[in-house]
């Protein structure tokens, strides 16, 4: 695996990151066991579904397995050696994942996935709106802080038409429960957020929940244009980084400085295991949020009449934690850091340009999203005239090319493009120009296959 690029002094000019060299990509591919098995057609698999779930390097698989072999114990629940090792592994993983995105360990709450992380915030706001304090019997200051989260009739929640259902449905439910009004930022024809729609953020806006990069159009949200309005309104900002964290370097400290209160992460899209995600949030927000899941490990004192709760992040981590998955995620972010997210992004930009250029030449193919690589990540949804996306996926699979088909848990943006579903390619660290060329050759033959 390539070694990390030495950090530059803070005052040094930042040169554009260099893409991974072909030799480096070859070395990376050797780290991924999935490439050892052939595709359905007997050839090497061109895996182009990283936006749905990433493949795992051997280091991640080994880290999780090694934890079970050597250090499995009840994390946070005893003082024997295995338990101490499990506890240390969990907290080391917390610090590593948080540090990878420019946050502190005290700002990261482990969840089972990013969807749960968004629901955690939405449900906590709902509890606060009912007057439940963060400490549930704790200090008066915690009660006062939770007042910021209270929402009701006359208040507004703003999302965008580009959202994954995980960052839309929880807010629909919160609006229904509290009487708040749900509004949304509309999109331009190419799927980017319309700058003229920012006026939907007003002094009534209490929450702004938006994607950092669309899982359909690939468009990167222009936060610099949107956040000033949210900050002026005093709105709580929740950022879905499930796609951007897999493609771009992130810095939560910088994001929080310009108005982002929370962001969510998904391990399995970042080379890590399934079954674990995270909420990363400011200490102010975490201190204000009342607990949602209750039970063991998140309590201070329990009597038959009442309970008091631990400070964040423990307050939001009831029950046994996915320690082995956290260990695997730790290995994943170490691996990504070794590659360099800026270099990965530069590599993907070259692949994206190649794909967009080739797709534009395929008769009947429509790209759902911007036609240029600038301002987008390596995610491209498309349709083929006269062919259902599922049929597209099956023909590509027969050619050894794996893509996603369906509505990608994002029906509103498909409605914006006036299609019910699409096929989608997306890139990861093992993707090569040859993978792109195999896809282009196979997709160019799809319509002809159905006309034979």
Residue 233 to residue 422: CA distance in whole angstroms: 36
Q: What is the mean pLDDT of the chain?
A: 93
- 423: exposed, middle or buried (C-beta count within 10 Å: 0-12, 13-18, 19+)? buried
pLDDT tier at 154 (50, 70, 90 boundaries)?
very high
Report the alpha-carbon distance of residue 50 to residue 68 in Å, rounded: 27
What is the average pLDDT across 316-329?
96
pLDDT band at 136 (very low <50, low <70, confident <90, very high): very low
Q: Is pLDDT of 346 > 60?
A: yes
pLDDT at 364 (0 to 100) = 96
Tell me: the pLDDT tens digits for 251-270? 999 999 999 999 999 999 99
Residue 452's pLDDT band, with cuts at 50, 70 and 90, is low
Q: Domain extents for the chain?
A: 22-54+340-450, 65-337
Predicted confidence (pLDDT) at residue 112 exceeds the cutoff of 60:
yes
409 tagged catalytic? yes
Three-class DSSP labels, 335-350: HHHHHCHHHHHHHHHH
pLDDT at 449: 82
pLDDT recorded at residue 143: 52
Confidence of residue 129 (pLDDT cuts 50, 70, 90): confident
Residue 301, SS3?
A: strand
* Per-residue confidence band for 67, with pLDDT thresholds at 50, 70 and 90: very high
Residue 250 has pLDDT above 50, yes or no: yes
Q: Range with the lowest mean pLDDT among 3-7, 234-238, 436-440?
A: 3-7
Residue 144 has pLDDT above 80, yes or no: no
| pLDDT above 90: percentage of residues in the chain | 88
d(CA 46, CA 441): 12
pLDDT of residue 133: 74
**Which residue in the list 409, 411, 444, 449 is annotated as catalytic?**
409
Q: Residue 58: is its pLDDT beyond 60?
A: yes
Chain position carrying tokens 């530069």: 346
pLDDT higher than threshold 60 for residue 9: no
Read off the pLDDT band of 15 (50, 70, 90).
low
CATH 3.50.50.60 fits 22-54+340-450, yes or no: no
pLDDT (average), residues 58-68: 98
Fold of 65-337: 3.40.640
Peptide bond into 313 cis (omega under 30): yes
Question: Mean pLDDT lowest for which of 12-16, 99-103, 347-351?
Answer: 12-16
What percent of the chain has a predicted confidence (pLDDT) above 70?
A: 94
Q: Which DSSP state fits 401?
A: E
Say which residue, 297 or 331, is predicted with more confidence.
331
Q: Is residue 274 scored above 70 in pLDDT?
A: yes
Question: What is the per-residue pLDDT for 6?
Answer: 35
Rg (CA), the chain: 23
Whether the pLDDT of residue 399 is over 90: the answer is yes
Of 289, 288, 367, which is closest to residue 117 (Cα–Cα)?
289
Three-state SS for 187-225 is: ECCCCCECHHHHHHCCCCEEEEEEECECCCCCEECCHHH
> What is the reported pLDDT for 12?
38
Q: Is the pLDDT of residue 101 over 70?
A: yes
Burial 10-41 (b: 16+ CB within 10 A, else e): eeeeeeebebbeeebbeebbebbeeeeeebee
Which structure tokens are listed for 321?
């934690």
Report whether pLDDT(426) > 90: yes
Q: Torsions phi, psi of 270, nearest 5?
A: -115, 30
Q: Give the side-chain half-sphere CA count within 13 A for 144.
A: 3
Q: Characterize 120-159 residue by residue with b for buried, 16 or more Cβ atoms within 10 angstroms of its Cβ, and e for exposed.
A: bbbbbbbbbbeeebbbbebeeebbebbebbbbeeebbbbb
Reported residue count of the chain is 452
3-state SS assignment for residue 265: strand
CA distance 132 to 127: 6
Q: Do domains 22-54+340-450 and 65-337 have the same CATH topology?
A: no
Tokens describing residue 428: 């990861």
DSSP one-letter code for 243: T
pLDDT band at 132 (very low <50, low <70, confident <90, very high): confident
Q: Which residues contact 14 (CB under 8 A, 6 or more apart)?
A: 8
Instruction: Average the pLDDT over 345-371 and give the result.
Output: 97
Whether residue 138 is predicted with pLDDT greater than 80 in this model: the reply is: no
Residue 401 tokens read as 């090319």
SS3 (DSSP) at 384: strand
For residue 4, what pLDDT is reported?
41
Going by their DSSP bridges, the two strands 299-302 and 277-281 should be labelled as: unpaired
Find the mean pLDDT for residues 57-85.
93
pLDDT greater than 60 at residue 216: yes
Question: Which two three-digit tokens encode residue 89?
Answer: 């592994």
Residue among 395, 404, 442, 441 at smallest CA distance from 426: 404
Grade residue 77 by pLDDT with cuts at 50, 70 and 90.
confident
Mean pLDDT across the stretch 398-406? 97
Predicted local confidence at residue 14, as pLDDT? 53
């Amino acid at each position: 695996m390539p070694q990390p690029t030495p950090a530059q002094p803070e005052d040094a000019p930042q040169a554009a990151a260099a893409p991974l060299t072909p030799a480096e990509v070859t070395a990376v591919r050797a780290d991924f066991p999935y490439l050892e098995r052939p595709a359905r057609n007997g050839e090497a698999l061109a895996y182009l579904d990283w936006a749905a779930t990433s493949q795992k390097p051997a280091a991640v698989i080994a880290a999780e397995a090694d934890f079970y072999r050597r250090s499995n114990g009840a994390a946070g629940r005893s003082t024997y050696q295995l338990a101490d090792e499990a506890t240390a592994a969990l907290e080391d993983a917390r610090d590593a994942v948080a540090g990878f995105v420019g946050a502190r360990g005290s700002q990261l709450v482990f969840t089972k996935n990013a969807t749960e992380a968004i629901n955690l915030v939405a449900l906590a706001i709902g509890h606060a709106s009912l007057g439940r304090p963060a400490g549930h019997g704790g200090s008066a200051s915690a009660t006062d802080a939770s007042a910021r989260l209270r929402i009701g009739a006359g208040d507004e929640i703003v999302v965008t038409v580009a959202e994954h259902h995980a960052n839309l449905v929880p807010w629909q439910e919160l609006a229904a429960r509290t009487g708040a009004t749900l509004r949304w930022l509309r999109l331009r024809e190419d799927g980017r957020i319309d700058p003229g729609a920012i006026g939907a953020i007003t002094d009534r806006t209490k929450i702004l929940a938006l994607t950092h990069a669309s899982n359909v159009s690939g468009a990167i949200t222009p936060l610099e244009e949107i956040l000033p309005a949210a900050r002026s309104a005093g709105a709580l900002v929740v950022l879905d980084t499930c796609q951007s964290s897999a493609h771009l370097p992130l810095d939560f400290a910088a994001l929080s400085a310009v108005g982002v209160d929370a962001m969510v992460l998904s391990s399995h899209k970042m080379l890590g295991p399934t079954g674990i995600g995270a909420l990363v949030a400011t200490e102010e927000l975490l201190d204000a949020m009342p607990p949602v899941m209750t039970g063991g490990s998140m309590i201070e004192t329990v009597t038959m009449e009442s309970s008091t709760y631990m400070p964040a992040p423990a307050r939001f981590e009831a029950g046994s934690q996915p320690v082995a998955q956290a260990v695997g995620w730790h290995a994943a972010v170490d691996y990504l850091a070794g590659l360099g997210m800026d270099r990965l992004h530069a590599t993907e930009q070259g692949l994206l340009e190649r794909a967009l250029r080739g797709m534009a030449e395929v008769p009947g193919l429509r790209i759902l999203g911007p036609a240029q690589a600038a301002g987008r990540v390596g995610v491209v949804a498309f349709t083929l005239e006269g062919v259902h996306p599922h049929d597209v996926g099956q023909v590509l699979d027969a050619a050894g090319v794996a893509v996603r088909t369906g509505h990608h848990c994002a029906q509103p943006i498909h409605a914006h493009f006036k299609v019910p579903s699409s096929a989608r390619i997306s890139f990861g660290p093992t993707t090569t120009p040859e993978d792109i060329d195999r896809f282009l050759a196979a997709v160019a033959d799809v319509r002809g296959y159905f006309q034979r």
